[in-house]
Amino acid sequence: MTDTSFELFDLRVVVDRVEGRSVCGLRVGDFFEVTESSRLRIPEGKHFCIYALGSILPLLAAHQRALAAGDWMAQDVEVCCPDPDERLVMRIERGRPQSYETADLT
């Protein structure tokens, strides 16, 4: 890597469990991926609830980066959907790191 390059992890956000009733139609195992720094990929024929997505989006940029072992963000990988009736819990999983040049993304 050079002084102008950096790494970001690809991410997968998976529905880990639904502790209430699934109002939005998501099921355990449904997922979306964030690849190539900012590309959101949902499997063909599937969907992802915009409210569940909205609750997890602010955390994704931090999970894409290398974090110190003691950083709470490195340890907390579960996020809840804001619908209290649903109690849908998502898990953030890291994939492989990708190298990028700063000038290519800014």
Domain that holds residue 100: 5-105
pTM for the structure as a whole: 0.90
- Amino acid identity of residue 86, one-letter, is E
Q: Which pLDDT band holds residue 33 (cuts at 50, 70, 90)? A: very high
SS3 label, residue 2: coil
**Comparing C-alpha atoms, which of 4, 105, 92, 96 is closest to residue 55?**
92
Question: How many separate domains does the chain show?
Answer: 1
Decide if pLDDT at 71 tops 90: no
pLDDT at residue 1, rounded to an integer: 61
**Phi/psi zone of residue 97: left (φ > 0), alpha (ψ -120 to 50 degrees), beta?**
beta
Query: d(Cα 32, Cα 98) in Å, to the nearest integer?
Result: 18
